[in-house]
Structure 1
Amino acid sequence: MSAKSKYQPVLDLGQEFNIQDGDVSEEGGVLKIKGVANTPYEKNALWDKIKEIGGENPSDIKANITIADESVYHRHVVKSGETLGKIAKHYYGNAAKYNAIFQANTDKLKNPDLIYPDQELIIPNL
């Protein structure tokens, strides 16, 4: 199995995130990828996928992923049925951190219990 085949889920995730200036090559069984992620969340998700496939210190992939916007952790578009608690759980692993998201979006939100589909929320760096 080629390294590219092995790490195809990483490449697919990169496409899903619309990674900019992406480049993928394979030399001597080592997959080399580079690109610019929009946010730290996207970069972290790509690294998590790499580690899921190749282990904690994979030797068959080299990745150079930079970040376009480090001022926020991510920008999230609300989907039907979501709450700030569910969103906080997804990004921070802790639903109780919903207030950090609320505070970062007081220009759009007046009540943490009232969010609507298609709103774009800032997920702040903690």
Structure 2
Amino acid sequence: MSVKLKYQGVLDLGETLGIQNGNVEEVDGVLKVSGVAGTPHEKNLIWDKIKEAGGELPSDIEAHIEVADDSVYHRHTVASGDTLGKIAKQYYGKAGKYTAIFEANTNILKNPDVIHPGQELVIPNL
């Protein structure tokens, strides 16, 4: 199996996320990828996908992923059925961290129990 084929899921995710200035080349059996992710969360998603395909310390891929906006962890557009707890669980692994999201968005949120589809929330760095 070619290295590029092995990491095709990484390349597909990069395309889905809209990684900017992406570059991919295979040199001597090592896949070299680079680009600019929008947020730290997107960069983490890429690294998680790399580890999923190649293990914890893969030697057949070199990735240089920069981040365009590291002032926030991510920006999340509220979907129907979302709650701050559910969003906190998605990004931080703990629903109880919803208060950090609420505090970062008091400019548009007045009550942590009331969010609406279409609102764009800042997911702060913790």
| Structure 2 counterpart of 1:5 | 5
What is the deviation of 1:69? 0.5
SS at structure 2 position matched to 1:80: coil
**1:29 offset after TM fit, Å?**
1.3
What are the Cα deviations for residues 92-118 of structure 1, in whole angstroms up to 9, with x where unaligned?
A: 000000000000000010111111111
Tell me the equivalent position of 1:39.
Answer: 39
Aligned to 1:78: 78
Partner of 1:111: 111
Q: Which residue of 2 aligns with 1:68?
A: 68
| Secondary structure of residue in 1 paired with 2:11 | helix
Deviating above 6 A after TM superposition, structure 1's stretches of 4 or more consecutive aligned residues are: none
Structure 2: how far apart are the matches of 1:79 and 1:2? Answer: 38
Q: Which runs of 5+ in 2 are unaligned?
A: none
Q: Provide the identity percentage.
A: 69
Structure 1, gaps ≥5 residues long: none
- Are positions 1:92 and 2:92 aligned together? yes
The alpha-carbon deviation at position 60 of structure 1 amounts to: 0.6
Alpha-carbon distance in 2 for matches of 1:95, 1:114: 16
One-letter identity of the residue aligned with 1:60? D
TM-score by length of 2: 0.98
What's the RMSD between the two structures over aligned residues? Answer: 0.6
Shift of 1:52: 1.1
Alignment match, 2:50: 50
Number of residue-to-residue matches in the alignment: 126
